A and B are shown apart, each in its own frame.
Chain A
Amino acid sequence: MKIVLDSVTHARPSWSLAAKGTFTPGIHLVSGDVGSGKSTLALLMAGLLTPDRGTVIREGIDKAMLSFQFPEFHVTGLSVADECRSWNLEPEPVLASAGIMASPERPAHSLSRGELKRLHLACLLSREYDLLLLDEPFSSLDCPGKEWAARQIGRRTAGITVVFTHEQSTFPHIDHIWEIREGNLADCGGMPGALRAWERAPAIVKRLVAEEKIPADLTQESIVEAACRTQE
C-alpha cells in the first residue's frame, strides 16, 4: 500500500506547490506555514483536486478519508444526534468518548468550535481507513482534547495516516516528517533523524536538537523525557 506523488504541481496566479515523494503505511506529519499549501496537498492526495502536472498514484488504497480543517464543513445533521447517526453511530457512546457534555438534541452548529471538532474526530476516528488525511486535526481543541486526539491518531497501526498541521505542542506518534518550504514538499525523513532536517520545527524541538537531546518521538512524553535527560 502506498501513495506516490509523481512530480505533482498545482499553481494559482500568486502561488504554487510542487510535491514529489512516496507515502507508505505509518503516520506522516506534513508541516508548513500559513498558506504554504498543506490543505491543497491534502486535497490533491484525497483526489478532490486534480494536479496541473504530474500524477497522484494510489496503490492498494480502497478506503480513503479526508478530514477538513474546519469541522463545520463536515456537519450534515441538524442535531448532535443526527450528526452521529449520519456516521451510523449511536450518539451516547460518541459523546462519551469525545468528552462532550452537550445534549444529543442540541443543534450541531450551536456547539463551541472545539466541541464540534471533538464530535467530528470521534465520529471519523471510529472507522478504519487505508488512507486517512487529517488537515489540522488539533485546531480548536483544548489541551486535553489535543492529547485525546493525538492518542487516537497514534493508535492507528494499519494504513497510511497523514497529519497536516502547524501544531507546536501536541503530536501523535510520528514515523515520518515532511515540510513544505517555499512551495516545495521536502522529505525530512524518518523519525527521529527527521528532527534534524525539520527547518520549522517547534522551538522546544529545535532547542533539544541543538543540545543533542534528540527525542525518540514527537509525543509530549518523548519531548519531556529528552528535555529531562542529564546526559546523552
Chain B
Amino acid sequence: MIAFENVRFRDLSVASLSLPTGITTLIGPNGAGKSTFLKLCAGIREPEEGTVTVDGASPRQTEVGYVNEFPDRNLLFSTVKDELASPLRFRHLPCAETEREVGACAGRWGIARLLCREVRDLSGGEKCLVALATACITRPRVLVLDEYDSHLDASRCAAAERILRSSGAVYIVRCTQQMETAAESDQILYVEGGSIVHTGAPAAVFGQLSGTPFYPLSWRCRP
C-alpha cells in the first residue's frame, strides 16, 4: 500500500492514510492540494513532516511514472520519438529494444503517426498523450497522473482508461476534473483546503457530494 503517516507539506496535512492497489482518484477544488499530494506520492517532493511510503519503501526508491498537470513541463526532447524513448535510453537499453518498445508503446496509445513530429507542433491533447505514453513505457509499479485528461476528448479518455488498467502498474494515483472518469476508479479521495475530507468507493464519496458540482452529471440524469 501507499501509506501517509502524519504528513505535512506546505498547506497539505494528512494524518494517516493508506491507498490500496488499483486506481485512486483525487477530486476537489482548484488549489486544494491535489497536485502536492501527487508529488509526494511520486517522490518529487518529500514531506516537511511525517512519511510517505510505497510498500514500505520511499517513493524515490520505487519505479514511478509521473505526468505533470502542465503539459509542456513533461516534455524534454524535440521530437515525439526521442521523448518516448528517453526513459528507456536513460536505462541504457539496447537501441533495437528501445526502437521496438517505442513502436509498441506508440501503437498502444494511438500516437504512432506522431513519432516524427516536433513536440512543439503538437496539440494540447497530443502533448498529454505523449506524456502519458512516456510515463508508462517502462511499466512502472506506480503511475502518478496529474490532470492528464484535461486536454483529452471523450474517446481518448476512454482509451486511456483501458490502457492504464492494463498497464501493469500496481498503483495508479491520479487527479481529474472529469467526474465521469473519477466514477470509474477503485477509490476516490475528495480533497479540500489541504485535507482529505472524504475517502472510499465512488458511490460512497459521491454520496457525500450529492447536490454539489462534483456529483457526476450522468448520475444526476439517471432515470
A70 to B153, CA, bound (A): 16
Contact A112 B30 (CB under 8 A): yes
Known contacts A114-B177, A204-B218, A166 near B125 by CB under 8 Å: yes
Contact B31 A115 (CB under 8 A): yes
Contact B217 A204 (CB under 8 A): yes
Which residue on chain B has the smallest CB distance to residue A135? Answer: B124
Contact A142 B153 (CB under 8 A): no
Partner pick for B31 among A114, A170, A200, A228, CB 8 A cutoff: A114
Q: Is A120 an interface residue (CB 8 A)?
A: no
B155 proximity list for chain A (CB < 8 A): 33, 200
Which residue on chain B has the smallest CB distance to residue A31? Answer: B153
Which residue on chain B has the smallest CB distance to residue A72? Answer: B70
A200 to B155, CA, bound (A): 9
Contact B152 A102 (CB under 8 A): no
Q: Mark A12-46, 1 if CB is under 8 A from B, else 0.
A: 10100000000000000000111100110000000
Q: Is B9 an interface residue (CB 8 A)?
A: no
Identify the stretch in A51-59, A187-195, A219-227 within 8 Å (CB) of chain B at 4 or more residues: A219-227
Partner pick for B124 among A14, A111, A136, CB 8 A cutoff: A136
B113 proximity list for chain A (CB < 8 A): 14
Interface residues of A in 166-206 (CB under 8 A from B): 166, 168-170, 200, 202-204
Interface residues of B in 17-42 (CB under 8 A from A): 28-31, 34-35
Q: Mark B130-171, 1 if CB is under 8 A from A, else 0.
A: 000000000000000001001111111000000000000000
Contact B147 A35 (CB under 8 A): no
Within the complex, the shortest CB–CB distance from A162 to chain B, in Å, comes to 17
A224 proximity list for chain B (CB < 8 A): 217, 220-221
Contact B147 A113 (CB under 8 A): yes
Q: Is A10 an interface residue (CB 8 A)?
A: no
A50 proximity list for chain B (CB < 8 A): none
Q: Is A125 an interface residue (CB 8 A)?
A: no
A141 to B29, CA, bound (A): 8
Partner pick for A112 among B35, B129, B180, CB 8 A cutoff: B35
Known contacts A33-B156, A34-B125, A168-B180, A72 near B31 by CB under 8 Å: no
A166 proximity list for chain B (CB < 8 A): 125, 151-154
Known contacts A34-B129, A169-B180, A223-B217, A114 near B153 by CB under 8 Å: no
Contact B221 A141 (CB under 8 A): no
Q: Is A145 an interface residue (CB 8 A)?
A: yes
A72 to B69, CA, bound (A): 11
Which residue on chain A has the smallest CB distance to residue B69? Answer: A113
B150 proximity list for chain A (CB < 8 A): 113, 139-140
Interface residues of B in 77-131 (CB under 8 A from A): 113, 117, 121-126, 128-129
A32 to B123, CA, bound (A): 12
Contact A139 B28 (CB under 8 A): no
A144 proximity list for chain B (CB < 8 A): 29, 212-213
Which residue on chain A has the smallest CB distance to residue B117? Answer: A14
A118 proximity list for chain B (CB < 8 A): 30
A202 to B157, CA, bound (A): 12
Q: Mark A136-167, 1 if CB is under 8 A from B, else 0.
A: 10011111111100000000000000000010
Contact A115 B30 (CB under 8 A): yes
Q: Mark A107-126, 1 if CB is under 8 A from B, else 0.
A: 00001111101100000000
Query: Taking each of B29, B72, B223, which has the highest tally of chain A beta carbons within 10 Å of its own beta carbon?
Result: B29
**Which 5 pairs across A and B sit closest by C-beta, in order of nearness?**
A114-B30, A34-B125, A227-B221, A143-B213, A166-B153
Report B's interface with A, CB cutoff 8 A.
Answer: 28-31, 34-35, 69-72, 113, 117, 121-126, 128-129, 147, 150-156, 177-180, 212-214, 216-218, 220-223
CB pairs A–B below 8 angstroms (12 shown): A33-B125, A34-B129, A35-B122, A38-B123, A70-B72, A113-B70, A139-B151, A146-B177, A146-B213, A166-B151, A204-B218, A223-B217
Q: With contacts A111-B31, A113-B69, A168-B154 known, what are 4 further pairs, Cβ within 8 A?
A: A145-B29, A166-B153, A170-B217, A224-B220
